[in-house]
Structure 1
Amino acid sequence: MFFYKLGRNQSLLFMKYIFTMAAAAFLLWGCANEMEVAPQAAENPQSVADTTNFNNPMHAARSAGTKVMMQAFYWDVPGSGTWWNTISGKVPSWASAGIDAIWLPPATKGQSGGYSMGYDPFDYFDFGNYNQMGSTETRFGSLAEIQSLITTAHNNDLSVIADIVVNHCSGGASQANPYTGSNTYTNFQPASGLFARSYNDFHPNNVHASDAGTFGGFPDLCHDKTWVQDWLYNNSNSIAKYYKNTMGFDGWRFDMVKGFEPWVVKNFKNAVGGFTVGEYWDGNAATLETWANSAEASAFDFACYYKMRDALANNDLTQLNGDMLLKRNAYRAVTFVANHDTDEIYTNKILAYAYILTHEGYPCIFYRDYEEWLDKNKLNNLIWIHNNKAFGNTTYLFADNDEYVARRNGAPGIIVYINNSNSWQERWVDTNWASTTIKDYTGSSTWEPVTQGDTWVKVQAPPHGYTIWSPK
């Protein structure tokens, strides 16, 4: 959610907030470093057995959910309508690296017009083609430019994930509201002429006073209203069907799903298919699992995120043995190290990527980590290993304050050895390979040991680094 960024870019957002108040008179707003070590990623995605669930990637036009997702934005990306073109230019190299989907920010007109990051939705059908809220283009560009981006992504076999914000709306005009006895900003007459809204479509109303949660004082959509359901997913030109059939989006990231019931996500996804993931911001793995099962969708694995944060911040890699959604239901887990809302893993961040890109779940890479802050060669190497070596379930072999070792049991499978100490470490580990020469596919170690007949072998890892072993 955009609101949480106040702590990071406070002064900039405050200025935008003041501008919005005055204008609207309304409320608040890693080419692999493998090179010679790891060849180019294979083109064929990992197969998925379950073909009955709409969230299964096999129901999407492409392979979203099987390789690696790129979050293709960060908070306060450059404005002036250039972002869609920026992403278009990066798509070919991302596809070559092994990315299978790009998650875009909310792409339609918000209350703040050309300043909006999209999380203050006003017109769900204005992709930068209507002059309203102070601009024609969105912060990210024009309708033609996002259409070109989606085409470019599809031409490179990338799925495009739309960010769906349907908990709340923003920018409505004032109107008398019989349910509150006062005026509320609930009169929405978008220039597109689609999904007009009034006080009847928000809480409180004649159905009930509230739902699962509100956000920041914004008008809170009532999902029990037939009018709202029709425009979200039932109508032939609903948001779900327009975004899928007209715009060409392949999947959905739902914002702030704590604010409404999980059946909303399930109904939307069942109307159009496609990979679906919800932002249920909660560190409890059991709670995430319950929501994911109810919504029949994936969830961002905040439990994994917080365990990695604590493990690296407190020099205690035993935290990585804790409860996570990926360990309860890897098929439903979207793992991540940072996103546009939260970025708390500062020290040895690459170790967190080594974890999510070698373990189960669907990993998501943050744009700034990949393009600006971390070693792109190392990230590309990890992506290649994820897509080509890291298969099967996981056996956790060892963990203490400084060291963590796990084994993926598929074919060919891997041994991942994370070392957060200040010196090289060595450890005997049990593999799935007898009398087999193995190598470190990160290139950090030059060892090429032969596993014993009983499958044991000694491996090593560099200080504040990692190695990933598999048959040569």
Structure 2
Amino acid sequence: MKTFKLVYFLLAITFLLASCGKDEILDNVEQESEKPEELVSTRAGLKTIGSGVMMQAFYWDVPAGGTWWNVVKGKVSSWSNAGIDAIWLPPVSKAQNGPFSMGYDPFDYYDFGEYNQMGSTETRFGSRSELESLISRAHNNGLNVIADIVINHNSGGDLESNEFAGKDTYTLFNPMSNKFNRTKYDFHPNEAYNSDSGIFGGFPDLSHNKSYVQDWLWKRNNSVAKYYKNTMGFDGYRFDYVKGFAPWVAKEFRRSTGVFGVGEYWDGNVNTLKWWTDQAQMSAFDFGCYYKMRDAFMGNNLNALSGDMLWKRNASRAVTFVANHDTDEIINNKLLAYAYILTHEGYPAIFYRDYEDWLSKSKMNNLIWIHNNLAGGSTTNLWTDNDEYIARRNGGYGKNGLVVYINNSNSWKERWIQTNWSSRRIKDYTGNSNWEPVTQGGRWVKIQAPPKGYTVWSLK
């Protein structure tokens, strides 16, 4: 038995060395990082979530009038071709403000624009049939569709006498879908529980410890979680305001269907983010990374990028971003910030308005291509100072790796750096430099980056 194992080991080493001779494989494959655990795909024919880039397919106050689902539907093919693997939609169900609501004041979780309540039949974004058509088009283009889930609070209920609150409260919900009717017993305070982790905006706060609430949110066969996946066709959840309830709530909701999940824990403290992802057993938006990038690019001090970030703790559970519908503070040098998240570890999300309206789409597509085709393996920092930042992705899982050079100064910069490639010709895949140097035997090479710009180097 030991002899056979030795033979198999030698064969495996031989195969590995032979494979490393091919141009498309990096020289030192031993630096592969652990394969991200959050890569999931639950529906046949779709890209794997985390293999590409997420698109936040909305912004605050997108045009009302029921047109948005059709707008997004018209873009999913080009987004897929660009390398997007999932689209994140705003809350899709009927909310208190009906045709004007962005969905974060949920009333009827099962009204997707088909019941005449809260002042309209359609939601702000369109009808149920238009939503279903969008999801179908996305799936036909290999894209996953992520639903924004708001389960901390509700809005739009009728007034009822509430002895637990000591006053009348808007906690009587009788939605036209006749699913998940709610009363004062389902919100805080009630006969058993006074409160949970937090309330939002004074809205009625769902009591997640109540079995009835759990049944309707994730346990029943037609629960919100299962209905959204099995009937509507969603492939993952983005959990809104997860500070408002214990991590186990999001954990159980997601686990009931086994799909991708990411939480909005709005906190720059990386210890807190790491704690939440460990407890909830899913990804979180990397606010640690966001605030460090804000300090770096808005404060013109790239030393901030040396700070702690969730992706540095556990890249497989970090969703990195430069802007979203709630916060857009990185205004200066925003493309440099995208060059950072699209070359580093973590699952990058890009913001609709940045991609479609405000930044160069060709440059964004180039960075998406770089992320999907070159940015593999662990990360090694090579240089950081006030104006310059250089890091190496060490390659792995069929990707050669890269070296990214971000220059926040007003002049061209050059530096000698050590790559993972010995005596190999490299090029800048952004087109910002026309150098094509050959690395020395010791893997050292001089690279450059333009003022207020970036370059990304890999094997030619």
- What is the aligned counterpart of 2:171 among 159, 180, 186? 186
Name the CA distance, whole Å, in 2 between partners of 1:71 and 1:64: 14
Match of 1:461 in 2: 449
- TM-score, structure 1 as length reference: 0.88
Amino acid at match of 2:413: Q
Question: How many pairs are equivalent?
Answer: 424
- What is the aligned counterpart of 1:57 among 17, 31, 40? 40
Alignment of 1:45-444 (within 5 A): 49=35, 55-59=38-42, 61=44, 62=46, 63-410=48-395, 411-444=399-432
Name the CA distance, whole Å, in 2 between partners of 1:447 and 1:236: 59
Name the CA distance, whole Å, in 1 between partners of 2:178 and 2:120: 17
Deviation, 1:208, is 1.5
Kept in 2: contact 1:424–1:463 (CA 8 A): yes
Match of 1:40 in 2: none
**Structure 1 unaligned blocks of 5 or more:** 1-45
Name the CA distance, whole Å, in 1 between partners of 2:349 and 2:450: 25
Amino acid at match of 1:363: P
Kept in 2: contact 1:60–1:274 (CA 8 A): no
Match of 2:8 in 1: none
Name the CA distance, whole Å, in 2 between partners of 1:70 and 1:129: 26
- TM-score, structure 2 as length reference: 0.91
Which SS does the other structure have where 2:256 is aligned?
helix
Which SS does the other structure have where 2:148 is aligned?
strand
Amino acid at match of 1:278: G
Kept in 2: contact 1:161–1:252 (CA 8 A): yes
Name the CA distance, whole Å, in 1 between partners of 2:411 and 2:203: 52
Which SS does the other structure have where 1:57 is aligned?
coil
Deviation, 1:49, is 4.4
Deviation, 1:181, is 2.1
Name the CA distance, whole Å, in 2 between partners of 1:406 and 1:206: 56
CA deviations 1:138-159 (Å, max 9, x no partner) are 0000000000000000000000
Amino acid at match of 2:407: N
Computed over aligned residues only, the root mean square deviation of the Cα atoms, in angstroms, reads 1.3
Amino acid at match of 1:283: G
Kept in 2: contact 1:170–1:219 (CA 8 A): yes
CA deviations 1:303-322 (Å, max 9, x no partner) are 00000000011111011111
Kept in 1: contact 2:423–2:440 (CA 8 A): yes
Kept in 1: contact 2:156–2:170 (CA 8 A): yes
Which SS does the other structure have where 2:142 is aligned?
coil
Which SS does the other structure have where 2:404 is aligned?
strand
Alpha carbons of 1:450 and 1:104: their partners in 2 closer, same or farther (altered >3 Å)? same
Is 1:452 aligned with 2:437?
no
* Identity between Structure 1 and Structure 2 (%): 67
Amino acid at match of 1:331: S
Name the CA distance, whole Å, in 2 between partners of 1:421 and 1:126: 52
Is 1:470 aligned with 2:458?
yes
